[in-house]
């Protein structure tokens, strides 16, 4: 199910949103201040963000601008008490995809979230490339140098995750959470085994390596310059 990051500094409203969205089948990650929200959006794979503007530690608009400046491309729905036209325009111009004024009907929030997620699916990247390796998510195929590579489901998901974060180090905790859907951090050995299996299948002796170990961090898949 889609994973939503909900950012709201009012505890009761945050709890209500989290409970309601979970009941609708969404995975929900929460944050109650701007600094933490920026960190979570930058390090956690989420499908959309519901973002309050008046946040402690870092204003929501500043968070939004920072994320867009960093290349964050997932839909962002602003949720705020500010209903002036100028505030709406500023929010949309800063990179928000939609704007909902408090108080709001929960069913309307759900409808807007569904619309944003549909729009994101239509524009989502379906093919990835690094050096001469190509992954097609629709065909569920991986090809390197014109030769198709047979991957297990887990190997395919792991490679997709690394390609989505190409040239960016990812931790084993991130891999465990987003590929294995486990947040316990007990999968270190399992992840290392799968990285080894993946290397054996996709690396070529006549080409620079794609998957690199980042000591003390995890792994990074680097495109060959």
Q: Per the confidence metrics, is the pTM higher than 0.75?
A: no
The residue among 183 and 15 whose pLDDT is bigger is: 15
Position 121 pLDDT exceeds 70:
no
pLDDT at 23 over 90: yes
**Span 173-192, pLDDT tens digits:** 888 877 887 766 567 789 99
CA within 13 Å, CB half, 95:
21
Indicate if the pLDDT at residue 124 is higher than 70.
no
Query: Where does the chain show beta strands of DSSP type E?
Result: 3-7, 27-31, 48-52, 76-80, 98-101, 127-130, 133-136, 141-144, 147-148, 170-171, 211-214, 218-221
Confidence bin at 47 (pLDDT 50/70/90): confident
pLDDT of residue 36: 94
């Amino acid at each position: 199910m889609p994973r939503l990051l909900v950012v709201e500094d009012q505890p009761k409203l945050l709890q209500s949103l989290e409970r309601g969205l979970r009941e609708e089948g969404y995975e929900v990650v929460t944050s109650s201040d701007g600094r933490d929200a920026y960190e979570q959006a930058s390090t956690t794979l989420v499908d959309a963000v519901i973002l309050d503007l008046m946040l402690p530690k870092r204003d929501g608009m500043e968070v939004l601008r920072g994320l867009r400046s960093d290349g964050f491309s997932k839909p962002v729905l602003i949720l705020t008490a500010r209903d002036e036209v100028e505030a709406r325009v500023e929010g949309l111009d800063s990179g928000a995809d939609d704007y909902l004024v408090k108080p709001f009907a929960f069913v309307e929030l759900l409808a807007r979230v569904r619309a944003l997620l549909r729009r994101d699916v239509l524009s989502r990247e379906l093919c990835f490339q690094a050096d001469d390796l190509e992954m097609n998510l629709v065909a569920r195929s991986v090809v390197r140098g014109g030769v198709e590579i047979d991957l297990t489901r887990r190997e395919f998901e792991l490679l997709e995750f690394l390609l989505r974060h190409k040239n960016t180090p990812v931790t084993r905790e991130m891999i465990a959470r987003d590929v294995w859907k486990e947040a316990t951090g007990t999968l270190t050995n399992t992840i290392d085994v799968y990285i080894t299996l993946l290397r054996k299948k996709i690396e070529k002796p006549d080409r620079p390596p794609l998957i690199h170990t980042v000591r003390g961090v995890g792994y990074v898949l680097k495109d060959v310059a």
